[in-house]
Amino acid sequence: MNNKPFIIGIAGGSGSGKTFFLNCFLHHFKNDEVTLVSQDDYYIPAGEMTQEENKLYNFDLPSTIDDAQFTLDIKKLLKGEVVYKKEYNFNNPLAVVKILEINPAPIIIVEGLFILHFKEIAELLDHKIFIEADEEVALDRRIRRDGNERGYPEEDVLYKWHNHVMPSYKEFLLPYREECQMIVSNNLNTSEEIIAVTESIANDLKPKFCKKD
């Protein structure tokens, strides 16, 4: 058994299927074996916006993230401390804001677009996984997600994609692709391959870091 938590960084662009990969991965563990820290919960609040302001505001920049607090909370988990964090509601005034209780665990998952760009966070990662998909596949997923979950018109989604999402992906994530120990191509909207990949990683980590029943 290893006393130091094992930190896995999972990075991927919008529409890469990162959330699905995470959910599959977490499914292989008990609650006290793994914990998740998501970059999405560290957005600096941008305040209320009109639809047009939201369209023009670039959320896809490292400066929109409170990386100092993000780093601090990861270090707290490493020391065995519980982290309490207000869930980010993506500027949705109708969302019920929850307080997240993030508990320390033998395996810590850190996920987000900029986790490899933030040097202090990248240096804490023991294993880096890069999730990718072809651009047309990723864009189609983004259009469906933003339409269904956030009510964004397709025109606004396309504006953000071409002016914010892809330029940021190419500048702040893609350069770190070759530094990752694992690259997962996720173009198929089927679960079998991703479940197999996540199960293989989980089976390797459990004997090393998780207590036996």
* E strands in the chain: 6-12, 34-38, 83-86, 99-102, 107-111, 127-132, 182-185
Looking at the predicted structure, is the pLDDT value of residue 93 above 70? no
**Burial of residue 212, with CB atoms counted within 10 A of its CB: 0-12 exposed, 13-18 middle, 19 or more buried:** exposed
> And the tokens for 189?
């909207």
If pLDDT is split at 50, 70 and 90, which confidence band does 1 have? Answer: very low
Q: How far apart are CA 213 and CA 68, in angstroms?
A: 37
The whole model's pTM is what? 0.91
Catalogue all structural domains in the chain, each as residue range(s) with its CATH number.
Answer: 6-209 (3.40.50.300)
Residue 90's pLDDT is what? 66
Mean pLDDT to the nearest integer, 41-64: 88
**Each residue's pLDDT tens digit, 125-141:** 999 999 999 999 999 99
pLDDT tens digits for 108-124? Answer: 999 999 999 999 999 99
Q: Which comes out higher in pLDDT, residue 188 or 212?
A: 188
Q: Distance between CA 74 and CA 159 in Å, rounded?
A: 33
Comparing C-alpha atoms, which of 8, 130, 12, 112 is closest to residue 62?
112
Sequence-distant (6+) residues with CB within 8 A of 2 are 106, 208, 209
Flag the least confident range among 10-14, 24-28, 144-148, 201-205: 144-148
Q: Work out the pLDDT band at 94, boundaries 50, 70, 90.
A: low
Q: For residue 91, what pLDDT is reported?
A: 60
